[in-house]
Structure 1
Amino acid sequence: MLFPYGFYGFDPTIIILIPTIVFTLYAQSKVKSNFAKYLKVNTHRGYSGVQVARSLLDEAGLQDIPIELAKGHLSDHYDPRNRVLRLSQEVYNRSSIASVSVSAHEVGHAIQHARGYIPLTVRNLIFPLARFGSSAAWFFIIGGLLIPNQPGLLDIGILLFGAAVLFQVITLPVEFNASSRALRLLNTNQFIMDDEERGARRVLRAAALTYVAAMAAGIAQLLRLLVLRNRR
Structure 2
Amino acid sequence: MSPTPTRSSSPRRARHEARPPRARAHVTPRAARRLTARRRALSLTLAGTIAAGLLVALSPDDARADVVGIATDAKRQRAPGILRKGLFGEIGLRPQAHLLAPSYTLPGMRFGVAIGGALTPRLKLGTYGNIAGYFGRGAKQLGGGVDVVATGYAWRGLYLRGGVGVYAGTPSAEGTRLRAAFGGLAGLGYEFNITREERSKKPNTRLGLGVDYDLRFIAVDQPRHAVVFGLHFAFN
TM-score of the two chains, using structure 2 as the length reference: 0.23
The answer to which structure, 1 or 2, has the higher relative contact order (CA under 8 A, 6+ apart) is 1
- In our comparison, the structure showing a higher alpha carbon Rg is 2
Q: Where is the strand percentage greater, Structure 1 or Structure 2?
A: 2
